[in-house]
Amino acid sequence: MSRAERRWSLGALLLLPGSVRAQAAHPAPSKLEIGEGIYLFQTAPYGDAGLDGNSVVIVTEEGVLVFDSNGTPAAAEAVLAEIRKITPAPIKYLVNSHWHWDHWYGAEVYKKAFPELQVITHERTRQLMAGPAVAFNQPGLDEQLPGHIAQLESQLLRAKVSATPVPGVAGLEAHLARDRWFLQQKRGVKHTLATITFSDSLTIHLGPRTIQVLHHDRAITPGDTYLYLPKEKVLVMGDLLINPITFALFCYPTGWIKTLKALARLDAVVLVPGHGGPLADKALLHATIALLEREQQLAREAKGRGENVDQAKATILADARVLALRTTITGSDARRNDAFALYLVDWFVTRVYQELDGTLDDSIPRTP
Ligand SMILES: [Zn+2]
């Protein structure tokens, strides 16, 4: 084959959807029973393109409630397949915690399988899901992810036509197939909105269980929703808390701290974060509250002294109390410390300054 022919055939090969077909399903999620008949499902990440929130499933003989429906239909299908192995009972309720795609883009799967399903979100979350949340994700689907895929394609093409063997071609091919599949999944999502909304609280009586669906204040988003099961003492928090480092991007500092304090007052013995493993005590919750309060206080003082937001971040990252809490939260792991500096200091202090300026509203900011 001439070099030109080889190039052509490789180009044609790259256009074939075979690699997409090869990954039609998402791998089975891991399953953890965190209370009797209460399961935490965690799905595999989408390579470097994203990762799902936790999905919690509460089973009774009369029906099932699912909290958060993953970031793609395929991931939700994988969780639903596991639920069907546990119970023949119908899924009656789906609660979606907030507008971030990784917690609700799989919702259509449950609605399709159970047309009687009631989908529940906070009223502000529904408003955001009905437009702004989808618009927020559009540049990723129109430009960022396709651009990344195009880059991988030319990298792969160069590797294949190279006269000397290039290491890592198989890995590159798998990466490309995964990203193409992910883009196809996200572009095909049928955005499924709530059939029931609430403002403060809603109680569901399902078989022998009492399930409280709660909202306290604007926190990570304007309409964060969490679940509390008072008999089982299980608290399902969504992204209000992530194990180990919560993403403070676009948060509402004062409302978030108030919300976390409300969570801490509940008599929970199992706490499920929005990402990461379940918690058997409130140590991370208390450390995060103490950290955010300390940061808010230091940022207020810094602003009062006339420091700009970057100066305030530097001041806070040098504070002994903040560093002690960082050790509690990250265990001094270097990569986690970097994530801490970005997610819990950079993003949080930016929002504290904006809140002090009075510029926080319910809209989704355009740029991170
Ligand atoms: Zn999330």
Q: How far is CA 2 from CA 5, 6, 69, 129, 160, in A?
A: 5, 6, 50, 52, 13
- Predicted confidence (pLDDT) at residue 7 exceeds the cutoff of 60: no
Lowest model confidence (mean pLDDT) among 165-169, 249-253, 283-287, 329-333: 165-169
Q: Give the Å distance between the CA of 339 and the centre of ligand 1.
A: 15
Same domain (yes/no): 148, 12:
yes
pLDDT at 368: 52
- Specify the residue for token string 């950290």: 291
Same domain (yes/no): 59, 107:
yes
Is 366 a domain residue? no
Is 162 a domain residue? yes
pLDDT at 15: 38
- Predicted confidence (pLDDT) at residue 135 exceeds the cutoff of 90: yes
Same domain (yes/no): 257, 291:
no
Is 363 a domain residue? no
Q: What mean pLDDT do residues 190-204 have?
A: 98
Q: Give the Å distance between the CA of 52 and the centre of ligand 1.
A: 7
Q: Give the Å distance between the CA of 249 and the centre of ligand 1.
A: 11
Q: What mean pLDDT do residues 119-147 have?
A: 97
Same domain (yes/no): 289, 182:
no
For 309, the token pair is 């937001």
Same domain (yes/no): 121, 269:
yes
pLDDT at 165: 86
287-330 pLDDT, tens digit each: 999 999 999 999 999 999 999 999 999 999 999 999 999 999 99
243-270 pLDDT, tens digit each: 999 999 999 999 999 999 999 999 999 9
pLDDT at 5: 39
pLDDT at 85: 98
Percent of the chain whose pLDDT exceeds 70: 93
pLDDT at 202: 98
Q: Give the Å distance between the CA of 95 and the centre of ligand 1.
A: 14
Same domain (yes/no): 165, 233:
yes
C-alpha angle 362/130/179, rounded to 5°? 100
- Predicted confidence (pLDDT) at residue 30 exceeds the cutoff of 50: yes
pLDDT-derived band at 23, boundaries 50, 70, 90: low
pLDDT at 367: 62
pLDDT at 296: 98
Q: Give the Å distance between the CA of 103 and the centre of ligand 1.
A: 6
- Supply the pTM of this predicted model: 0.92
Q: Give the Å distance between the CA of 303 and the centre of ligand 1.
A: 30
Is 365 a domain residue? no
Residue 239: burial class (beta carbons within 10 Å; 0-12, 13-18, 19+): buried
Is 364 a domain residue? no
Same domain (yes/no): 257, 299:
no
Q: Which among 231, 260, 280 is the end of a domain?
A: 280
Q: What is the 3-state secondary structure (H, E, C) of the chain?
A: CCHHHHHHHHHHHHHCCHHHHHCCCCCCCEEEEEECCEEEEECCCCCCCCCCCCEEEEEECCEEEEECCCCCHHHHHHHHHHHHHHCCCCEEEEECCCCCHHHCCCHHHHHHHCCCCEEEEEHHHHHHHCCHHHHHHHHHHHHHHHHHHHHHHHHHHHHHHCCCCCCCHHHHHHHHHHHHHHHHHHHCCCCCCCCEEECCEEEEEECCEEEEEECCCCCCCCCCCEEEECCCCEEECHHHCCCCCCCCCCCCHHHHHHHHHHHHHCCCCEEECCCCCCECCCHHHHHHHHHHHHHHHHHHHHHHCCCCHHHHHHHHHCCHHHHHHHHHHHCCCHHHHHHHHHHHHHHHHHHHHHHHHCCCCCCCCCCC
Distance in angstroms (rounded) separating the CA atoms of residues 49 and 68: 19
pLDDT at 48: 87
Q: Give the Å distance between the CA of 275 and the centre of ligand 1.
A: 6
Q: Give the Å distance between the CA of 196 and the centre of ligand 1.
A: 22
Q: What mean pLDDT do residues 106-134 have?
A: 98
- Closest Cα to residue 279, out of 314, 307, 243, 255? 243
pLDDT at 352: 98
Q: Which among 218, 251, 280 is the end of a domain?
A: 280
Same domain (yes/no): 73, 203:
yes
Q: Which among 280, 302, 322 is the end of a domain?
A: 280
Query: Computed over its alpha carbons, how large is the radius of gyration of the chain?
Result: 22
Q: Give the Å distance between the CA of 251 and the centre of ligand 1.
A: 13
Same domain (yes/no): 332, 257:
no
pLDDT-derived band at 354, boundaries 50, 70, 90: very high
Same domain (yes/no): 174, 210:
yes
Number of domains in the chain: 2
Is 213 a domain residue? yes
Within a 10 A sphere around the Cβ of 180, how many other Cβ atoms?
Answer: 20
95-110 pLDDT, tens digit each: 999 999 999 999 999 9
- Predicted confidence (pLDDT) at residue 8 exceeds the cutoff of 60: no
- Predicted confidence (pLDDT) at residue 174 exceeds the cutoff of 80: yes
The residues that bridge with 65 in the sheet, in sequence order, are 58, 93
Residue 15 belongs to domain spanning: 1-280
Q: Give the Å distance between the CA of 307 and the centre of ligand 1.
A: 32
Q: What mean pLDDT do residues 347-367 have?
A: 93
Is 303 a domain residue? yes
Distance in angstroms (rounded) separating the CA atoms of residues 329 and 285: 10
CATH of the domain at 203: 3.60.15.10
Q: What mean pLDDT do residues 231-247 have?
A: 98
Same domain (yes/no): 290, 244:
no
Q: What mean pLDDT do residues 201-229 have?
A: 98
Same domain (yes/no): 228, 313:
no
- Predicted confidence (pLDDT) at residue 21 exceeds the cutoff of 90: no
Is 38 a domain residue? yes
- Predicted confidence (pLDDT) at residue 24 exceeds the cutoff of 80: no
